[in-house]
Amino acid sequence: MSLFNELKRRNVFKVGIAYVVVAWLVAQVLQLIFESFGTPDWVMKTVLVLLATGLPFALFFAWAFEMTPGGLKRESEVDRTQSITPQTGKKLNTVIFAVMGLAIAYFTYDKFVLTAGRDAALIEATTQAVSEQAATEEASTESDKSIAVLPFVNMSDDASNEYFSDGLSEELLNMLVKIPELRVAARTSSFSFKDKDLKISEIAQELNVSHVLEGSVRKFGDKVRITAQLIKAEDGFHLWSETYDRELDDIFVVQDEIASKVANALQVTLLGQSRSEREVDPEAYELWLKGLYFLNQRGEENYKKSEEVLLQAIELEPDYVAAWELVAMTYYVQTTQHIRTREEGYALAMNAINRAISLDPNQGVTLAAYGFLKKNLDWDWETAQMALTRAHQLEPNSNIIRIWRASLMQTLGRLDEAVENYKQALAVDPLNLSPYSSLGINYRKVHRFEDAIAVFKKQIELRPDYYWAHFNLGKTYLFKGDPEQALVEIENNPSNIFRELGLVLVYTTLGREAEAQAVLQRLVAQEGEQSPVWIAEAFGWRGERDQAFEWLEKAYVQKDVGLAYLLGNTVFKSLWDDPRWVELLQKLNLLEYWQDMPPEYGGPARPAG
């Protein structure tokens, strides 16, 4: 008998077919189960190896054994002459047909049900992956178009020429801000790295930018040497660098060229009229740079110096818009710092900013300064809104405009909008303490206490001795219901008006009345004349309405800037249902804005139903 016939007689082929079909079906079912439970790949691979290993054994048993009515017997023991015939072939036929039926059923289910689901999931996963990749690429591209302008180093023999290098840096920054596609770190954060020996990569990481523009200025007489270089922060590679030896008369041309080269390197478009197209007397420009420098240095003496040199610039160049704008802000600061009386400072500031507007009504920052002054000095909210909205349209990337708009939103009780705008401001100015204060205060006004606490703690991390941050953090703990922790923060302050006010608020809450009274008397005697709003806060929190309204009226007569931030201030909660509160808001032109506020943010209570 041939080997083939013998294999056939012993059902080896049938056993092999049955084994393969069963193994395939088992593998398919196990794979589906393993995928559902997230079983590691090595488990399935092990199963396949075991199934493959079992095939030779199955074939061997088919060759060596036979199924009979009497059970499993060795092939050599089966007497094929008897009437009791082997049953292996018949049973294998039944098994094969049954398994083939199951296999066909599974194949049909897999083809029309499982495969369709897998395809849909694959399409969804692929679409999501493509979307995520596109978003990542877009975010990467957007992040790549970001820059910080560091203060250029003064290399002149005369240290007093620092005003020139600082001013040049700020001018370049202001030119780049006008590019819509470019995200530019704000001045306060960029200039915080002045005279600090840090790597470019570290600075870029702090400011969340991908490029840094740095340089140096050497000024000698009427000549300047300016070196500028654009650096990719990721690898320190110089994308562009240049040195300019020019006359002072050519300073605007140099600024235009540097800004243009930076824009080209970052593949963005420089917008607006170039500085070299605006005819400004170089001496007047230099005086403007000095005025800017002194204003940024702060302090009464510097404010007076700023005013002096700016007026000299205006005398040389009567139509110098930037000088009129800057001297208006100098007068404003002098007014808020009580260097000038309110009447005198208001008249001077408004005259200067109106002059700037008349010369060029389409300068974004000038319009914003006008809106800011109308808000804080004139309480003309409607005009301020129009001016700041138009300013934002003209210069949507300007961070100072963004901050001033947020300040107006806070004044008008649009607190959620104020929060979002201050968050945007901090995204490009992460080291500026002022927006942190405003963001934290607005978080507190909308009762997001944990967010406010995190903001004020970040401020303290940036500057541990910052009294305003400790005061606001303490106030937040107080409003949250934790006067003990509030006291800890208030006591971290040095002796000043905010420590005194904070102690009055906390002592009152803790029931330490004698101490609260003593501090309040001291606060009124020392700060009452200059800061009536703060005195009103103390009485308002204590629930002493008559005294609170008396001091609010004094603040109204003095046109205290603090009244612009009245809405949503929880210290005045005891006054909100008093008819005198409505009368005060009417005088301030804030009544309609208060009425639009949600009750939970300090707006009027709404009738039930």
Question: How do residues 313-348 score in pLDDT, each as one tens digit?
Answer: 999 999 999 899 999 999 989 988 889 888 898 899
Instruction: Answer with the residue of higher pLDDT: 223 or 414.
Output: 414
Q: How far apart are CA 418 and CA 442, in angstroms?
A: 7
CB atoms within 10 A of CB 33: 11
Q: How far apart are CA 166 and CA 86, in angstroms?
A: 104
CATH (domain of 156)? 3.40.50.10610
Position 38 in a domain? yes
Of 103-117, 198-212, 281-295, 317-331, the range with the highest mean pLDDT is 317-331
Q: Is the pLDDT of residue 564 over 60?
A: yes
| Token pair in block for residue 596 | 């639009």
Q: What pLDDT was estimated at residue 278?
A: 53
In the chain, % helix, strand, coil (3-state, to 5) comes to 70, 10, 25
Q: 571: pLDDT confidence band, cut at 50, 70 and 90?
A: very high
Of 84-93, 150-159, 547-556, the range with the highest mean pLDDT is 547-556
Average pLDDT, integer, range 542-559: 94
Q: What pLDDT was estimated at residue 279?
A: 65
Average pLDDT, integer, range 497-507: 94
Helix (H, G, I), strand (E, B) or coil at 83: coil
Q: What pLDDT was estimated at residue 75?
A: 61
Judgement on whether residues 104 and 172 belong to the same structural domain of the protein: no
Q: Is the pLDDT of residue 232 over 60?
A: yes
Q: What pLDDT was estimated at residue 450?
A: 96
Q: What pLDDT was estimated at residue 138?
A: 46
Average pLDDT, integer, range 436-456: 95
Q: How far apart are CA 353 and CA 360, in angstroms?
A: 11
Judgement on whether residues 46 and 93 belong to the same structural domain of the protein: yes
Of 73-87, 323-337, 364-378, 579-593, the range with the highest mean pLDDT is 579-593
Please enumerate in sequence order all residues whose Cβ is within 8 A of that of 124, keeping only pairs 6 or more positions apart, or say none. none
Judgement on whether residues 150 and 273 belong to the same structural domain of the protein: yes
Judgement on whether residues 7 and 62 belong to the same structural domain of the protein: yes
Judgement on whether residues 114 and 155 belong to the same structural domain of the protein: no
Judgement on whether residues 191 and 111 belong to the same structural domain of the protein: no
Amino acid at 523: L
Position 369 in a domain? no
Average pLDDT, integer, range 133-148: 57
| Token pair in block for residue 608 | 């039930």
Q: What percent of the chain has a predicted confidence (pLDDT) above 90?
A: 37
Judgement on whether residues 176 and 112 belong to the same structural domain of the protein: no
Q: Print burial letters for 269-300: b (CB count within 10 Å at least 16), e (below 16).
A: ebeeeebeeeebebebbbbbbbbbbbbbeeee
Q: Is the pLDDT of residue 111 over 60?
A: no
Position 78 in a domain? yes
Instruction: Answer with the residue of higher pLDDT: 128 or 577.
Output: 577
Judgement on whether residues 166 and 217 belong to the same structural domain of the protein: yes
Average pLDDT, integer, range 502-515: 96
Please enumerate in sequence order all residues whose Cβ is within 8 A of that of 49, keeping only pairs 6 or more positions apart, or say none. none
Judgement on whether residues 101 and 150 belong to the same structural domain of the protein: no
Judgement on whether residues 213 and 180 belong to the same structural domain of the protein: yes
Please enumerate in sequence order all residues whose Cβ is within 8 A of that of 304, keeping only pairs 6 or more positions apart, or say none. 334, 339
* Residue recorded with tokens 């004698």: 514
The distance from CA 484 to its chain's CA centroid, rounded to whole angstroms, is: 32
Of 89, 122, 155, which marks where a domain is finished? Answer: 122
Q: Report residue 512: phi and psi, to 5°.
A: -90, 70
Q: What pLDDT was estimated at residue 135?
A: 47
Position 221 in a domain? yes
Which has the minimum average pLDDT: 86-95, 144-153, 174-183, 580-589?
Answer: 86-95
Q: What pLDDT was estimated at residue 456?
A: 95
Q: Is the pLDDT of residue 558 over 90?
A: no
Q: 140: pLDDT confidence band, cut at 50, 70 and 90?
A: very low
CB atoms within 10 A of CB 414: 20
Instruction: Answer with the residue of higher pLDDT: 420 or 3.
Output: 420
Q: Is the pLDDT of residue 22 over 70?
A: yes
Instruction: Answer with the residue of higher pLDDT: 550 or 71.
Output: 550
Helix (H, G, I), strand (E, B) or coil at 527: helix
Range of 193's domain?
Answer: 146-277
Q: Report residue 514: phi and psi, to 5°.
A: -60, -45
Question: Tens digit of pLDDT for each residue in 349-366?
Answer: 999 999 999 988 888 888
C-alpha distance across the termini of the chain, in Å: 101
| Tally of structural domains, the chain | 2
- The size of the chain, in residues, is 609
Q: What DSSP letter does each residue of 434-464 carry, written as one string? A: HHHHHHHHHHHHTT-HHHHHHHHHHHHHH-T
Average pLDDT, integer, range 446-462: 94
User: Is 486:477 a contact under the CB 8 Å cutoff?
Assistant: yes
Position 208 in a domain? yes
Of 252, 277, 302, which marks where a domain is finished? Answer: 277
Average pLDDT, integer, range 146-167: 81
Average pLDDT value over all residues in the chain:
82
Q: Report residue 215: phi and psi, to 5°.
A: 180, -170
Judgement on whether residues 153 and 271 belong to the same structural domain of the protein: yes
Position 288 in a domain? no
Q: What pLDDT was estimated at residue 511?
A: 95
Position 272 in a domain? yes
Question: Tens digit of pLDDT for each residue in 271-303?
Answer: 444 444 456 787 888 898 889 889 888 889 999
CA distances from 404 to 106, 270, 367, 376 (A): 68, 25, 11, 10
Of 253, 277, 301, which marks where a domain is finished? Answer: 277
Which has the minimum average pLDDT: 200-204, 532-536, 538-542?
Answer: 200-204
Q: How far apart are CA 396 and CA 498, in angstroms?
A: 35
Position 132 in a domain? no
Kind and range of the H or E run holding 483: helix 483-491
Q: 444: pLDDT confidence band, cut at 50, 70 and 90?
A: very high
Region of residue 423 (left: phi > 0; alpha: psi -120 to 50; beta: else)? alpha
Judgement on whether residues 18 and 104 belong to the same structural domain of the protein: yes
